Structure 1
């Protein structure tokens, strides 16, 4: 792509979005389908690079040139963290970071410049401000201004959907499952296009929180786990609120999504003992879900140990992960109401050996029931 065309695309994105976002450039340059970007941002794709048209290195070069142009325009970079569970844009770490870097004007900088001094940009900026503030009447007025500025604007349809959806907050539709699907698959994509990823999340949080409040006190629905108040509040990054909601779920050990929610929320709030207790129950009762969580574990303390666990020869069953952590000297809590399985009992015997290395009964039990675990413990002694 020649420099003039590239500059025009970047300039157009800045005029439209008030910032330059690299993934939007890949869509505008026809290197990436909009539908694939939406699926990636929803966390439904693990690797965006595989969906690009042409050689990925060409896309990386395109983003590098665009970044240089953004810097020449005086824009400031802001690297956006990957959301929990979201895949990478590129396998190369530098390119992935570049793809997650948004470029914006400095705070307080005059808006009467090449990109902002036109009716369309002013109307769009006003619409964004009203949506961010949750002001439905103000957003409707901004939509009218946007229509007058450019009746054919591609933002008009997205804006109309976002403003119309704000009426749901007054009275949520009765079909909560359909509502959440609409938020995730339609409203979310429109919000990201109009507001950008960060502000879109804050806009959608109003809907998730309202849905969580409406469903408070209802029984957990295994067919629709995402409707759990705890999981909805985690989307809002209300970790304390999620833990409070989980306190109202007495059967949560029976449901993997709730245990994963408790694990994540407890680690985020620094309640490590509660989080590790949930991890034990997850490993003992729901091995497949435990393995899936460990594969994407974003807790620095645990992540290093997970890698060591995967490298064990011979490999241990996932249900022995808590007992293995204890053999490494990791401070594991005493778990109340464990299931009646050998892996849970192994924790008690490893704990006994750590207190008294010559405990003959503990050694005999481990030798008979979990010899690999005993051998690993002896190797660390």
Structure 2
């Protein structure tokens, strides 16, 4: 457990660095949403004032989540970043304060943000104070989707500081609050979100950009429901926009609804990511298996960085003798004790790899069932991949301490 917590602290440091690079600030709730420790739907329910404190909605081992957040905060403090204490209120009810946690330690872990200290290159402190207030008003109105208030605040900012460096971003976002009832030109709308709204939201809202952009991603997901996948434009698909909205059930459904989805490695990658966020180990292994069997180069690119399967991939890569990428699913069964999820043979291009995985699964099943004939299962694996059986038997022969 200690080793796992230490790994989570390192992971928190790495993720805080990524978030600072992308958004100019580290926000713990954004980190938890990104890693699937906080479902966006659960976050939305909390922001609407629905029920329990946020900490009770987190997914996963509390000690490991605590280590993750503590590592991220320590990274920020070591770099003397500016701490900003947030006050959370319900959407549509600014007087309703929201509770992050009952426990004071969890309250501290979740409460604030760290950001790179602002530099003043154009305005002195007193001249800038009014603009700062107007910026804060504009950002708050944008985050709670209040078009009239946002337009008023942005207009006031333009009048007071027409040369403000972020004025253009605020103006684009104020316009972006008016979403069309019907999207006539899907590619143009997607381009506008990617090229105009997302950069502007990241620039002025930081981690709050997610709340502003999610309604756009959802509108696109609905509009793309019947759009077939185009490998020339992989973002123009409901699985992509649903992922940007952190709606992992919708990602899963959109990929599986696509005829011949197994031919497209990018769709399998999205299925793998969705499985990780859904806490579906079987789904993750099934998606990884398809990558390994039908798209090995993509598997070798994706799996080392996968948070669930990455450690297993590293151990697999260090095996002696070196095994083929297609052997990774069977290796996971033998050396991690996992079981093979249901995979239809007709959906797999390389049936022999599936046969090997099934043979490995039979060995694991026999090992767990004292009445089964493990010898027969081993002979079946020997006939398919003797290298795998050799490594398995070598490991079993090592005495346990």
Q: Could you tell me the TM-score, scaled by structure 2's length? A: 0.64
Query: 3-state SS of the aligned residue for 1:219?
Result: coil
- Whether 1:219 aligns to 2:228 is yes
**2:249 is matched with which residue: 222, 234, 240?**
240
**1:166 is matched with which residue: 155, 159, 177?**
177
**Separation of aligned partners in 2, 1:153 and 1:335:** 57
What residue is the counterpart of 2:343 in the other structure? 335
What residue is the counterpart of 2:31 in the other structure? 81
**2:389 is matched with which residue: 374, 377, 380?**
374
Structure 1 residues 250 and 102: CA distance shift in structure 2, 3 A: farther
Measured against aligned partners, the alpha-carbon deviations of 1:226-264 in whole angstroms (never above 9, x if no partner) come to 222122111111112222323422422121121111122
**2:268 is matched with which residue: 245, 259, 280?**
259
Q: Is the 8 A contact 2:221 2:239 kept in 1?
A: yes
Q: Is the 8 A contact 1:208 1:232 kept in 2?
A: yes
1:98 deviates by 5.2
Q: Is the 8 A contact 1:78 1:103 kept in 2?
A: no
1:116 deviates by 12
**2:283 is matched with which residue: 271, 274, 282?**
274
- Whether 1:346 aligns to 2:356 is yes
Structure 1 residues 330 and 286: CA distance shift in structure 2, 3 A: same
Structure 1 residues 308 and 40: CA distance shift in structure 2, 3 A: same
Q: Which has the higher contact order (CA 8 A, sep 6+)?
A: 2
Structure 1 residues 311 and 202: CA distance shift in structure 2, 3 A: same
What residue is the counterpart of 2:141 in the other structure? 130
**Separation of aligned partners in 2, 1:100 and 1:293:** 34
Question: How many equivalent pairs are there?
Answer: 295
Query: 3-state SS of the aligned residue for 1:226?
Result: coil
Q: Could you tell me the TM-score, scaled by structure 1's length? A: 0.67
Structure 1 residues 96 and 281: CA distance shift in structure 2, 3 A: farther
**Separation of aligned partners in 1, 2:332 and 2:82:** 40
- Whether 1:41 aligns to 2:36 is no
Unaligned runs of 5+ in 2: 1-17, 36-71, 89-124, 367-372, 397-401
Q: Is the 8 A contact 1:169 1:210 kept in 2?
A: no
Measured against aligned partners, the alpha-carbon deviations of 1:298-324 in whole angstroms (never above 9, x if no partner) come to 12xx33212201211222121110011
1:279 deviates by 1.9
1:215 deviates by 0.8
1:277 deviates by 1.7
Measured against aligned partners, the alpha-carbon deviations of 1:41-85 in whole angstroms (never above 9, x if no partner) come to 29xxxxx9xxxxxxxxxxxxxx9xxxxxxxxxxxxx85563956x
What residue is the counterpart of 1:208 in the other structure? 217
- Structure 1 segment 1-381 matched on structure 2, within 5 A: 41=22, 81=31, 83=34, 103-105=83-85, 107=87, 118-172=129-183, 174-176=185-187, 178-196=188-206, 198-299=207-308, 302-328=309-335, 329-337=337-345, 338-354=348-364, 355=366, 356-359=373-376, 363=379, 366-381=381-396
1:289 deviates by 1.8
Structure 1 residues 106 and 232: CA distance shift in structure 2, 3 A: closer
Q: Is the 8 A contact 2:293 2:350 kept in 1?
A: no
What residue is the counterpart of 1:8 in the other structure? none
Question: What's the C-alpha RMSD, in Å, of the aligned pairs?
Answer: 3.4
1:96 deviates by 7.2
Unaligned runs of 5+ in 1: 1-36, 43-47, 49-62, 64-76, 85-91, 109-113
Measured against aligned partners, the alpha-carbon deviations of 1:80-108 in whole angstroms (never above 9, x if no partner) come to 63956xxxxxxx99757856966214539
Q: Is the 8 A contact 1:212 1:227 kept in 2?
A: no
Structure 1 residues 321 and 101: CA distance shift in structure 2, 3 A: farther
